[in-house]
Amino acid sequence: MLTGGGDAPGLNAVLFGLVTRAEALGIECLASEDGYEGLIKGCLVPLDAAKVRGISSQGGSVIGCSNRANPYAYPRRNPDGTLVTEDVSARVAETVKRENVDVVVALGGDGTMAMTSRLALLGVRSVGVPKTIDNDLAATDVTFGFQSAVDFATMAVDRIHTTASAHDRVMIIEVMGRYAGWIALEAGLAGGAHVIVLPEFEYDAQRIADAIHRRASQGVNYSIIVISEGAKPIGGTHAITKDMPAGHLPKLGGAGDRLGKALEPLVPDHEIRVTVLGHVQRGGSPVPFDRVLGIRMGVAAAEAVAAGLEGVMVSLKAGRIVTVPMSDAVGRTRNVTAEDERVLAARAVGVEFGVDFDRR
Amino acid sequence: MLTGGGDAPGLNAVLFGLVTRAEALGIECLASEDGYEGLIKGCLVPLDAAKVRGISSQGGSVIGCSNRANPYAYPRRNPDGTLVTEDVSARVAETVKRENVDVVVALGGDGTMAMTSRLALLGVRSVGVPKTIDNDLAATDVTFGFQSAVDFATMAVDRIHTTASAHDRVMIIEVMGRYAGWIALEAGLAGGAHVIVLPEFEYDAQRIADAIHRRASQGVNYSIIVISEGAKPIGGTHAITKDMPAGHLPKLGGAGDRLGKALEPLVPDHEIRVTVLGHVQRGGSPVPFDRVLGIRMGVAAAEAVAAGLEGVMVSLKAGRIVTVPMSDAVGRTRNVTAEDERVLAARAVGVEFGVDFDRR
Amino acid sequence: MLTGGGDAPGLNAVLFGLVTRAEALGIECLASEDGYEGLIKGCLVPLDAAKVRGISSQGGSVIGCSNRANPYAYPRRNPDGTLVTEDVSARVAETVKRENVDVVVALGGDGTMAMTSRLALLGVRSVGVPKTIDNDLAATDVTFGFQSAVDFATMAVDRIHTTASAHDRVMIIEVMGRYAGWIALEAGLAGGAHVIVLPEFEYDAQRIADAIHRRASQGVNYSIIVISEGAKPIGGTHAITKDMPAGHLPKLGGAGDRLGKALEPLVPDHEIRVTVLGHVQRGGSPVPFDRVLGIRMGVAAAEAVAAGLEGVMVSLKAGRIVTVPMSDAVGRTRNVTAEDERVLAARAVGVEFGVDFDRR
Amino acid sequence: MLTGGGDAPGLNAVLFGLVTRAEALGIECLASEDGYEGLIKGCLVPLDAAKVRGISSQGGSVIGCSNRANPYAYPRRNPDGTLVTEDVSARVAETVKRENVDVVVALGGDGTMAMTSRLALLGVRSVGVPKTIDNDLAATDVTFGFQSAVDFATMAVDRIHTTASAHDRVMIIEVMGRYAGWIALEAGLAGGAHVIVLPEFEYDAQRIADAIHRRASQGVNYSIIVISEGAKPIGGTHAITKDMPAGHLPKLGGAGDRLGKALEPLVPDHEIRVTVLGHVQRGGSPVPFDRVLGIRMGVAAAEAVAAGLEGVMVSLKAGRIVTVPMSDAVGRTRNVTAEDERVLAARAVGVEFGVDFDRR
């Protein structure tokens, strides 16, 4: 078992369901700590039901996460200090063989599923559990962590209302979402934001300024904007791109600041303030929805292993946990579309997206 | 528009979506306050988009609720003080006619949908929005309010862990759920309860005591039990029954106390404590899930009215908002079954239900 | 170190401050688990700074609590099954001697301080840290845990408002407080309760009913009552008394139910509902106020030990941590008085206490 | 009555206590909306007990705030678009006279108290209620709003732990506090931050980097830094200064980003992430502590008016509400000192402040 990529509320609920069910089925569990790190370094740690008791309500992952430990591009520092990557997948295969691992159960997103699928070529059997706090995996209707992130982001939007309204301000709240804007869309709609800016649609700052002026002309002198970290202006570039090597992401600044700077000359009568929620959204105790979903997925993964399945991922489809080919999850993301019912509902209640949907 | 029955977090989100969308579609909205009370008394209040701005995050219903104002069994006190009911549905029809109401949009549960369906016989067109905090309406996959109730109940279970474990106690938490145990099931699973007792399965107190002893024999001297208010022992009677007239429900005591008294002689080495969450579960700000769902349903109801539909209810099916015949919602409840995947997952992680599922 | 009595949010913050500071001062820490149980059984567990890292935010106590392990009245079951108590304080003295314990640091309330003071007669040095979730220790202005309990109780009162107002109900919320009503007073005032019933003043149910009718005559058909678990009617008896042996406290029912039954015939037009918050109030993560106070007290206790003090208790006086004689804390409780400024403020904003303050 | 400056959780609790008590004392209340704006424009709005019912739990201020409406420096835009300020205090005196206002009750901070004191020269009587979310007014031990801000900031620090530890990161959280670091100090201590950076002490980035390396050498590869928005490096300048005209404050960027950039070359092995909590800290429902304090202060202000006092401010001193000369509050701030017991406690548990306290 391993948990790859960034952490997400609900990982521990999956581990609780997985290990507890596996033990009852007579399956022994070994943890690879920090994602693939344990498998690469050849160090696995036994985990039993007693050790995972009570962890479902905790954030993070008791076995650690890593978004660096990629068996196919493992970072190594050269003598001259430069950072290169190398293929160490053979070490994973060795560990699997030496420790008599039958199945690798990988909890992770697109990237982790891709790595794990490739290991099949080395004879490593695997079962996946989808993890994506941005909710952008196509192969499952929804996954754990997303609702917890929306919960925190919505609370932040709720709280900003009083201050924004008391001081005629434009408040920008930057939330997670590099390629998919689901968190911004749901938290914006739930929190009563007036403008929602998503990575899926390049925004026109003038349209947003117009919306602010329109509100002001109706006597409402404040506006709340929820923006995804991956949003970009028309013709602009993403602040973050997929091929940036891990560890080289821009550390400071972001989409909220950029929009703030663009709006400043357009709405000179308003003070603009930016809040960057950042990694606070990933932390904390998972909401019950994510815990229940996590436990169900963990139990299902244990049963998939017991049933001898391989190359599959557990998935939620129309309210039921099923298994789907792991390859379905690789490279296929689920994005917000202009036709999504949530977008239509938001537009129906007057939310501006900074986009001329009619001309798209 | 009216909101019938008990309140549920998310009602205001529906009203926000409904009124805002209706106004944009050129439809005028009138509110019947306190459920059917306004229609019965002939007093309707105009509601426009400005008045519902910002209410999505609020609990309760800005137009009031009532579970007494039944047009077909409206309470009246006789001169001698006794309480009788009478059919006042004709008054509703009169109000509808006099005020030129085209469509009655009723937010409510099984009971409200039944009343509203019957009004069709008097020529009153209607559209329904399903509301049931217990999540027991068959005609929709899930509805608003449920997740908020689970959220609070889970937090209570979370909090009880430290005290229970510090003092070798059996802690019983009674949650909502008269006929359907979904809240107890999800909050119990999410909160890590050791025993979950549901209305759908008559419980055997001895089995529960055995589970407590089994834990004690493994060195764990405390247990947490989540019980639905409608749960009953084998051969026992429901504390509350459907044909009890509203207002005559048992006001004090309940399922948690009853189980506590039954367990007392069976686990003499343990102190037993009962917490009754009661109506606290219905209150408070809705979680984002319920707000988004509420807004979507409200917008869909406005569009159903604009499209000239009648006798339909909006509904969530496999992630999409659709319309179904209102009659589908009447008298058909959705209950927890022994085969439900959540029950199987809970059993897989060692939760006791006080039931011998194999012999059922 | 030991934590006696019931648990309280902030105990772990004290342990964090105490152990971390002690280690820096070159003092070795041993834990007596489950209150005096470890000292009685002669089993102490070493605790160092690494083990208490990060625990300040956790509820409960990492070294367990006990309100049974009284060295002067330790429970023993006779062969015939009856429960008696015996003096085992000599065993504590033996453990202290054998393990070379210099100072016993006891975190606890009135009872724990009394036991600990008496140990001085056996030559056992001690330092106390006051713990009382009811905030009723006279020797300190305030202690940790209280604010966390008020926080949860207030949230429950907040949540009950919408339901109470939607349904013309009288809602009774029973909160902690056996002899002192501080939790009911602060949570009731903060949550906007209409009636607050405290253990310090015997209540007159008719006055409470009158207040409900008075509100109804002003068109407000609902009322929220916050009652301490130790409240009693005029001439009534406390449901719980101090000389009841531990473990024989009434397990079921309580002050809320009793008031509900008394009000039922007096307000026949209102449905009455009772919520018993119970031990949920003791659990959960401490609020920051309690964490900061706990850490400060823990650090101060370590410094008191290093300074060679004994027979003292750390205490918060006018915003500063000081030490006071431990004997000051024994048998002297702090109760709500009619002249307390919070009571006067509550009365000033129209809160009814069920008491004729003028005739007292 | 007016609420000046930025909003703070608890303002509505003060208004509730003030108006409800005033009405009972036979005093009529008029609100000046948006701080002094109403008095300047000559427009006052009556407020009675019915209108403030239930507002104590709400964030913001029902009568609006303003940090622009300064009677002695009121902004006016010249024909050429430049912004100047003028003295309009005579207009306030006119309004007071025309509307027969006996006393102006001003809820506000240092600035508002200064303006209000000066009005005495124009014959305007006044009573003050101290408001400062940063808790930096010298004339009161503590005021409402601060604890609510600490509550949210602590929760954010709590949540960041899991992510920080899972990914070997340095997490910087920027919290409120321009001149006084109380929020950073209490939230940092309560949340278990490893470094706390305050405006009162210029920081040395190298010391902070050393602390990060020291932790890494002990095998702990992550660090959490809580920094006040007003913190600055040794020899650096405050990003914000007191003489900056309102509305010309830096809108984007801040202390967190600046520290992040300074650390980047010093800890090249760590990813750095910055979260800016911003105005989210001011919003939301006040914690019970702030509500109770607010109600008490409001009641006391009403009684001060009834008692004919003027030029006084209500204040919390050693747990009691008293009145002090308003002039005591002007220009005298309360700052964190190196000798403050909280600073000493934080240092005692290993927190680094980026300061060499021994050489200061």
Q: Residue D360 has what pLDDT?
A: 67
Q: Residue D242 has what pLDDT?
A: 47
Tell me: do C237 and C315 sit in the same domain.
no
Taking residues C309-316, what's their average pLDDT? Answer: 95
Q: Residue B53 has what pLDDT?
A: 92
What's the CA dihedral at D150, D156, D158, D164 to 10 degrees?
Answer: -140
Question: If interface means Cβ-Cβ distance under 8 Å, which residues of chain C face chain D?
Answer: 16-17, 20-21, 24, 49, 54, 56-57, 141, 147, 150-151, 154, 158, 161, 186-187, 189-192, 285, 287-289, 291-292, 295-296, 299, 302, 318-321, 341-342, 344-345, 348-350
Question: CA-to-CA distance for D32 and D36, rounded, in angstroms?
Answer: 6
Q: Residue A252 has what pLDDT?
A: 46
Percentage helix, strand, coil for chain B under 3-state DSSP, each rounded to 5:
40, 20, 45
Instruction: Yes or no: say if B322 and B315 are a contact pair by the CB < 8 Å rule.
Output: yes
Q: Residue A247 has what pLDDT?
A: 35
Tell me: do C7 and C133 sit in the same domain.
yes
Residues 6+ apart with CB under 8 A from C341: D296, D320, D321
Instruction: Yes or no: say if A163 and A223 are a contact pair by the CB < 8 Å rule.
Output: no
Tell me: do B7 and B136 sit in the same domain.
yes
Q: Residue D252 has what pLDDT?
A: 46
Tell me: do C27 and C128 sit in the same domain.
yes
Taking residues C119-126, what's their average pLDDT? Answer: 91
Q: Residue D332 has what pLDDT?
A: 84
| D56, D288, D341 member nearest C151 (Cβ) | D288
Sheet harboring C125-130: ordered strands across?
Answer: C2-3, C103-108, C125-130, C312-317, C320-325
Per-residue pLDDT 10s for chain D (360 aa) are 999 888 899 999 999 999 999 999 999 999 999 899 999 999 999 999 999 999 999 998 999 887 778 999 998 888 887 889 999 999 999 999 999 999 999 999 988 999 999 998 888 999 999 999 999 988 899 999 999 999 999 999 999 987 787 777 899 999 999 999 999 999 999 999 999 999 999 999 999 999 999 999 988 889 999 999 999 999 876 555 444 433 333 444 589 989 999 999 999 888 898 898 988 899 889 999 999 999 999 999 999 999 999 999 999 998 899 999 998 888 888 999 999 999 999 999 999 999 999 876
CATH number for the domain spanning A222: value is: 3.40.50.460
What DSSP character marks residue B269? T
Q: Residue B360 has what pLDDT?
A: 67
Q: Residue B247 has what pLDDT?
A: 35
Which has more confidence, D113 or A252?
A: D113
**pLDDT of C251 above 60:** no
Interface test with A, best of B175, B185, B315, B349 (most A CBs within 10 A): B349
- Range with the poorest average pLDDT among A164-168, A241-245, B12-16: A241-245
Q: Residue C238 has what pLDDT?
A: 59
Q: Residue D193 has what pLDDT?
A: 97
**Domain-located, residue B191:** yes
Q: Residue C247 has what pLDDT?
A: 35
Q: Under DSSP, is residue D60 helix (H, G, I), strand (E, B) or coil?
A: coil
Catalytic residues of C: 134
Question: CA-to-CA distance for D193 and D196, rounded, in angstroms?
Answer: 7
Question: CA-to-CA distance for C311 and C295, rounded, in angstroms?
Answer: 21
**pLDDT of B54 above 80:** yes
C chain contacts of residue B278, beta-carbon cutoff 8 Å: 273-276
Tell me: do A115 and A168 sit in the same domain.
no
**Domain-located, residue D356:** no
**Domain-located, residue D355:** no
**Domain-located, residue D265:** yes
**pLDDT of A245 above 90:** no
**Domain-located, residue A354:** no
Q: Residue C252 has what pLDDT?
A: 46
Region of D239 please: left (phi>0), alpha (psi -120 to 50) or beta.
alpha
CA distance A244 to chain B (A): 33
**Domain-located, residue A249:** yes
- Using one digit for the tens of pLDDT, what is the confidence trace for B309-331? 999 999 999 889 999 999 888 88
- Using one digit for the tens of pLDDT, what is the confidence trace for A117-141? 999 888 899 999 999 999 998 889 9
Residue of A nearest to D281 (CA): A159
**Domain-located, residue A353:** no
Q: Residue C168 has what pLDDT?
A: 75
Question: CA-to-CA distance for B172 and B192, rounded, in angstroms?
Answer: 13
Question: CA-to-CA distance for A122 and B120, rounded, in angstroms?
Answer: 67
Tell me: do A164 and A269 sit in the same domain.
yes
Could C288 and D147 be called an inter-chain contact, meaning their C-beta atoms sit closer than 8 Å? yes
Nearest in space to B158 (alpha carbons), one of B4, B53, B277, B46: B277
Tell me: do B256 and B235 sit in the same domain.
yes
- Using one digit for the tens of pLDDT, what is the confidence trace for C204-241? 999 999 999 999 998 888 999 999 999 999 987 655 54
Domain count, chain B: 2
Which has more confidence, C6 or A21?
A: A21
Taking residues A1-19, what's their average pLDDT? Answer: 94
How far, in whole angstroms, is CA D234 from its chain's centroid?
24
Question: CA-to-CA distance for B203 and B255, rounded, in angstroms?
Answer: 11
Instruction: Yes or no: say if A189 and A351 are a contact pair by the CB < 8 Å rule.
Output: yes
Q: Which partners does chain C have (≥3 C-beta pairs < 8 Å)? A: B, D
- Using one digit for the tens of pLDDT, what is the confidence trace for C183-198? 999 999 999 999 999 9
**pLDDT of C357 above 50:** yes
Tell me the percentage of chain B whose pLDDT exceeds 90.
Answer: 71
Q: Residue B253 has what pLDDT?
A: 56
Cα-based distances in Å from C186 to B342, C285, C292, D148, D314? 40, 19, 20, 16, 20
Q: Residue B223 has what pLDDT?
A: 95
**pLDDT of C248 above 60:** no
Rounded to two decimals, the pTM is: 0.91
- Range with the poorest average pLDDT among A222-231, B127-136, C249-258: C249-258
Tell me: do B233 and B292 sit in the same domain.
no
Q: Residue A360 has what pLDDT?
A: 67
Is the ipTM reported for this complex over the cut 0.90? Answer: yes
Buried-exposed string B278-298: b where 16+ CB fall within 10 A, e elsewhere: bbbbbbbbbbbbbbbbbbbbb
Could A190 and B154 be called an inter-chain contact, meaning their C-beta atoms sit closer than 8 Å? no
Q: Residue B244 has what pLDDT?
A: 41
CATH number for the domain spanning A52: value is: 3.40.50.450
Residues 6+ apart with CB under 8 A from A245: A83, A85
Q: Which of B34, B110, B134, B290 is catalytic?
A: B134
**pLDDT of B38 above 90:** yes
- Range with the poorest average pLDDT among A138-142, A256-260, C164-168, D288-292: C164-168
CA distance B196 to chain C (A): 18
Domain coverage including residue D158: 149-282+337-348
Tell me: do A53 and A104 sit in the same domain.
yes
CA distance A237 to chain D (A): 20
Could A159 and D59 be called an inter-chain contact, meaning their C-beta atoms sit closer than 8 Å? yes
**Domain-located, residue B355:** no
Tell me: do A301 and A277 sit in the same domain.
no
Which has more confidence, A6 or A349?
A: A349
Token pair listed for D30:
């008029």
Instruction: Yes or no: say if A177 and A134 are a contact pair by the CB < 8 Å rule.
Output: yes
Please report which confidence band the pLDDT of residue A211 belongs to, taking 50, 70 and 90 as the band edges: very high
Taking residues B204-216, what's their average pLDDT? Answer: 96
Is residue D259 within a helix (H) or strand (E), and if so which, with residue range?
Answer: helix D255-263
Tell me: do B234 and B161 sit in the same domain.
yes
Tell me: do C124 and C24 sit in the same domain.
yes
Question: CA-to-CA distance for B41 and B71, rounded, in angstroms?
Answer: 10
Question: CA-to-CA distance for D10 and B75, rounded, in angstroms?
Answer: 43
- Using one digit for the tens of pLDDT, what is the confidence trace for C67-92? 778 999 998 888 887 889 999 999 99
